[in-house]
A and B are shown apart, each in its own frame.
Chain A
Amino acid sequence: MLKGSLGLIALSSLLLSGTAFAQEKIKVGVTATLEGTYTVLGEDGIRGFQTALNVLGKKVGDKELEFVIASTDATPDSAVRAVRKLIEQDKVQILLSPLSGDEGIAVKNFAKTHPELTFVNAASGAQETTYVDPAPNFFRYNMDGAQWQVGLGKYAYETKGYRKIATVGEDYSFIYTQVFGLVLEFCGTGGQVTNRQWVPLGTKDFASVIAALPDDVDAIYLGLGGADAVNFLNQYQQAGGKAHLMGGSIMIDQTILSSKGNAKNALIGTLAASGQADTWENPSWQKFVKDYQDAFPPNKRFPSPSLLATNYYGSTMALILALRQVNGDLSNNQAKYKEALAKIELDAPNGKIKLDSNRQAIGTNFVTEVVDDGKGALFSKVVKVIANVNQTLGYDPAVFAKIGLPSRTVPECKKY
């Protein structure tokens, strides 16, 4: 009995000191895919996040930011579990989460059950997250998958002369969104998408998928990421594949371009589009690359930051700068902070970013081509920069709404 009550006293004093502590600090929860297929992406995301902390510091007025990192595996339930743990156990006030598409939709829905907290999207890019029934406390400073494909279809059709393409993609929301953006533009310009193959996230054995690739097309578009992309390329090489390739935003990315082995060489010359380009000459991009390179020893990072590092960097930047604007004031259900977040205009490494009325980023997009730097390292080289890309991709919102939400078969291959 005595022991029990002593324990209780000790516990309550611990809790009390915990709350006293929290007044001096602002707790931020971060999630990243540190397990499963997208492990490598999550790790580089965290590097981008740390680079931002190095540059911006952790102080907001007289308060100090404290971060708690939780791991997910790209499935929606793992993301909700991690976010719930951060809120309920670690008592975080702001969330920087999540990384992957399906996670984003789940976390956005979860955000509605905690209207008093603020959620800053870390890197997820499904269209539905901010387009359908957005949460008022969920802010996204990166573009969605469709925005990241702007320019690709047109460039492939007009400059490369591709007329018929086929796509292979992972079977989930982000890749649906990417293929949505590609198909809309490519078919709108006059091209044809003859075949769309979908493989489960985490597929190991692509041999039959590779065999089923059509050979009467000008190019094959790959919407894969992380280990799936590496597995695909490895088996594509074993099968002696020779087709022209086009790539999605996480396919043509340092996470894949710096993978071990020589299977990645199949990607040289591949056309892609993304929210960044490795060799962009803009000074603020170059500064970011240098900050990233200086922050980690060469064997613990990629030669150049991946799209995930850039997204985490931009999101962390928004989170901290807006917090400084309100001087760390999180009173009244963080009302002032949310207002600052909605208004802030970021001078991010990958171009200017501002939010629309759904709290979704309007930003700059890049069409790129993969080049070999002569020493065996692969980079994405800019061929075209497109500024001010919004979520409806320049379409009239009413027309855009008629196209439907990205899915395995939407949009149809026609001009809208």
Chain B
Amino acid sequence: MTRFVERHPAWALIIIIVIAVALWLIFAVWPQGLEDAIGRKRVFLNAVFNGITLGGLYFLVASGFTLIFGLMRNVNLAHGSLYLFGGYVGYAISASTGSWILSFIVAFILTALVGVLLQLVVFRRMEGQDLRQTMVTIGLSIVFADLMLWACGGDFYQIQTPNWLIGPVELPLVTAVKSSGEPVYLRYPLVRLVIFTASIVIGVAMWLALNRTRIGMIIRAGVDDRDILAATGVRIQLVFVVVFALGAGLAGIAGVVGGTFQSLSPGEDIRFLLASLVVVIVGGMGSIPGAALGALIIGLAEQLGSVYIPTYAIVVTFLIMVLVLAVRPQGLLARR
């Protein structure tokens, strides 16, 4: 941190100013002139929160994607299919048992199993052949999409939010002050806050597992140099299987999350594959903090865009990607 400030004092200053302005926008009561210029504070705050929670969902999908890439150099373009599969499994479980929590567990286990199968049956046979693996995953994603269309139809599925999560909560953020002087607090859907908290917990747990445990150490070593790690006697294939299962399972969990506050249908697989591609390109391929930062940026860009420039909202995301590719092609937080 201090090294960054020493090396790029101008950038550091700009970043500090941006953060200060953002904090002021979030916590201060907006003066009338500002409200006239860019609309009510409630709308802005909601868009920011929605962006952050959507970023949480994107992070869940993209972290698995980036983990698999980082270790195995395998661009798994069937990742979106795992997301959708997890969602459908979650729907089936939640519809039949009525338990939301259980649907996460089962979705994680089943998608992780699919991931294990993929690694054992497909990727292990073509290790080190990046292009071939990529082509095969494109083919697999098409096959999976058609299989799921056959099994689940073109309908829209929505996983029921449990009753205790329905409805808004008041957050201690003032959006406006009534003429009587009474402050109006921000009301925000509880379910989105829970989902966001859960994605932070998962992110932190992943970071701890990677940086504080033995298996994490092995994985990090594998990311740096796979061949040397294998030469030291680590059973590298087992590590691959574990990482693939974890990455796939996370996509499955994300599917349940997405099915709860959005909906599931054919086509969602491609949408989330594209989202996670953009996220990891922005954040840096193979980096977990990069995925978190990328997800946050893309989520915020989508939601703020949909409020302030609705017609061009979709362009903003890709504009960010183009900018990053032009200025820092390895991604914002890439290690090398």
Interface residues of A (CB under 8 A from B): 34-37, 39-40, 197-200, 204-205, 207-212, 226-227, 230-231, 234-235, 237-240, 260-261
Contact = CB atoms under 8 A, between A and B. Distances in A.
A235 B265 contact: no
A211 B46 CA distance: 6
B229 interface: no
A40 B46 contact: no
B267 interface: yes
Pairs of residues from A and B, 3 with the lowest C-beta to C-beta distance, nearest first? A211-B46, A240-B168, A238-B189
B192 interface: yes
Nearest to B155: A39
Nearest to B51: A208
Contacts of B154: 34-36, 39
Contacts of B192: 207, 238
B156 A207 contact: no
Interface string B149-172: 000011110101100001110000
B98 interface: no
B46 A208 contact: yes
A110 B327 CA distance: 46
A255 to B, nearest CB: 11
A231 B265 CA distance: 12
Given A207-B50, A240-B187, A212 B262 contact: no
Contacts of B167: 237-238, 240
Contact of A239 (B47, B168, B263, B302): B168
B195 to A, nearest CB: 11
A234 B158 contact: yes
Nearest to B306: A208
A236 B155 CA distance: 21
Given A198-B310, A211-B46, A239 B189 contact: yes
Interface residues of B, number: 37
B280 interface: no
B189 A208 contact: no
Given A231-B262, A238-B167, A208 B158 contact: no
Nearest to B54: A205
B218 interface: no
A260 B158 contact: yes
29 contacts: A35-B154, A36-B265, A39-B153, A39-B155, A39-B156, A39-B265, A198-B310, A199-B310, A205-B261, A205-B306, A208-B303, A208-B307, A209-B307, A211-B47, A226-B156, A230-B158, A231-B158, A234-B158, A234-B263, A235-B189, A235-B261, A238-B161, A238-B168, A238-B190, A238-B261, A239-B168, A240-B167, A260-B158, A260-B160
Interface string B267-292: 10000000000000000000000000
A260 B263 CA distance: 12
B307 A212 contact: yes
Contacts of A239: 168, 187-189
A40 B156 contact: yes
B191 interface: yes
Indicate the member of B42, B156, B266, B303 with the most A CB atoms within 10 Å: B156
Interface string B174-202: 00000000000001111110000000000
A36 B149 CA distance: 11
Best-surrounded residue of B153, B158, B188, B307 (most CB of chain A within 10 A): B158
Nearest to B50: A207
A40 B262 contact: no
B43 interface: yes
Interface in B29-67: 39, 42-43, 45-47, 50, 53-54
B38 to A, nearest CB: 12
A239 B167 CA distance: 6
Contact of B156 (A210, A230, A237): A230
Contacts of B261: 205, 235, 238
A209 B306 CA distance: 8
Given A230-B156, A239-B168, A240-B167, A204 B263 contact: yes
Chain B CB count within 10 A is highest, among A34, A210, A211, A260, for: A211
Contacts of B190: 238
Contacts of B42: 211
